[in-house]
Structure 1
Amino acid sequence: MFAPTLASPPSAATTARAYLPALTGVRALAAYLVCLHHQNPFPAGTWPNDALREFHVGVPLFFVLSGFLITLRYFGAEQWTGRWWRRYLRNRVARIYPMFFLLTTLTYAVVFLEKGPSVFRSWLLNVTFLSGFFDDYKYTGIQQGWTLTVEECFYLVAPLAFALLRRRPRLLWLLPLALLGGGVVLVNTLGRLEHHGLFGNYLFMLLFTFFGRAVEFFAGVQLALWYRRGLLRPARGLLTAAGLLLLAAVVAALAAVRGPADEFGQETPWGVVLNNAVLPGGILLLYAGLLTERTWLSRLLGTRPLQVLGKSSYVFYLIHVGVLQQWLKHHVSASAGLGFVLLNLLAIGLYYLVEQPLNRWLRAPSAADQAA
């Protein structure tokens, strides 16, 4: 990877409050990669189609970023008090849950009209984030919603990991290995129940659960710790370039290892290694470059339009496939390009009119916090 060099470390308070424009803009880039993965415009059998099939790599971009931001904001904070836990959990719920609940319920309202009350169980598993633990349910509701189960697992584990790392910092890279071992145990225990694919097999565990994807989050944790301690320095754009090249190389390698019976390259043994272990290193390099280097990419991602698109990227991510996308396609325009523009406009509107107000309302201090 690279050897961090000592620089003047920013204070913990400064980093926790820091607004990092390039990392806001990169959220839009990640969402668009996933969109191209789901809405591949190229004919099957062509090399552009093969490459875009592997653009699920946008998901690790989100996971590493989550690990970085949560560590930046909360590592070293006063923990294990009721007030801290209330604030932390309230902020995490406010960040993800309102739009997910509303859009998931809208999705199932449409499905209910076709299938009736039988969809209630699936809806309940989705709005409680439990569907992501079942192979049979992972794509129900909002198809890409399984990633939020992975996110929520990290949110719950992070404070415990931070408390441990403050005392034993050398355990940083043992924690994802321990979680992977826990995933193996779950496959060999709960998986044997054969209950709707609950931890049904190793491939599902590795690709769709936090136990298999923990390396991505801990790559973000590592980056945040280096950043907080002033151990990152610019390298004349080399970090950004190296990260982009490694990202592109992993996409090409995933396309190359995909066999005729595989839908995606990550479904092969080598693909799992590339996606879960090699790719996070490339993303870490890219983010290190965006944090420290003034490049064409950091300038682009920091522009005002990309800030708006980055802020609304979560809503875009939730709606780029699903009932709203299908409604626009069938009732407004079947054009993929126009549909992309309309989805962005809808996402921006929902962000400013719904997501942001709900986020602020839910983050408001409770009476118990004010009295403490």
Structure 2
Amino acid sequence: MTTPKEQAAYNPRTPAAQTSPKQEQPYRLLGVIDPDMNNTVAFALKVPRDWEVKQSFKRKWNGAIPSPQIYLSFRSPDGTQQIEYLPANEYTYSEGPMADNMRAQMQSMGIPNTNPGELQPRSALAYIKQVLLPELAQRGMRLRDVGNETELPDQPAANQVVKSSAYVDGVLANGRKARVECRMQLQTVRSNGETYYAWQVVPSITQTSGELAASYAHTKAAQESITMNPTWQQLNNDVVQRGMKANSDANDQNLADQRRWAEIQQRGHDQRMADIQRSGAANTAAFNDRMNQMDQQHNAYMDRSRSQDRQHEYAVDAIREKEKYADPTTGERVKVDAGYNHVYTDRQGNYYGSNTPVKATDVNWQELQRVALKDY
């Protein structure tokens, strides 16, 4: 997206990553490859120059919606230091009269919540102690002598997103010192008396036989150097959008199938009622009441599903610092970088963001309109 202050183009070979002919730099730039996108670089980050690197890029599917699952491992040549980035975990949660009522109904009917992606938000430190450490223990990585619990200050971002991080130190079974860290992004949306949360957690583990602070400095350097590739972001967003549409279409088809089955039942019932005439009038009324209740329940379910889809898409966009705009003359919608008061298009496929208004007619531009949450 072009702005009044031009942003530097994405370039994996930035001057900071190039080796000086006089003095070798301590870090090199690693491009993380997405094999499903023709081996496009998703993002780049700094890693210690002579360390061994392993990377795995997969996707987890929620219906037709993909979520990248990236694992990175950096190991020192002597094997005494290792940094691991575990795949990100994404969660959603809602609070309010409607959400609380649905949970109460499920509990009263003895229906357990089997959705691992539904989790009430909590602080990064609480997540480490309540979720991450028990999960690591189940995988055989137990941390003893846990201490130095540290929670860093929250960092507010655009679109009601708050970034936070925390870590704890301990000792692994092999005697190495370890620091388990979580970086978290939490987005909160309030609508119609309900509060919706979408949050993402990226865990990392730094372990060493030496000084933990020195090894963690490499972890911090990697985190602070992450640079996303806009081309990959657009490709990934396109896949997510198609997945959301496929999920919505599947919900619509499911409702249509249930309606057809209800109509078949209705026709059979009507025939039986014709046979028993007036004696079946009461049954007919009761059946119609049940059909109406089914319609109301289906409509309420679909309304909630569409609302949750909109909330999920809005939350994902907010985490990725994107916003959806619409061309008022054509109805075409596009996602652009968030944080601008005005967005314009020159109708040549280029978009421009500005915090001050531009007289669009003077340059043959069209100002776009931000899409509200209820219309997402």
Return the structure number with greater relative CO, CA threshold 8 A, min gap 6.
Answer: 1
TM-score by length of 2: 0.22
More strand by share: 2
Kindly name which structure, 1 or 2, has the bigger radius of gyration based on alpha carbons.
2
| TM-score of the superposed pair, with normalisation by structure 1 | 0.22
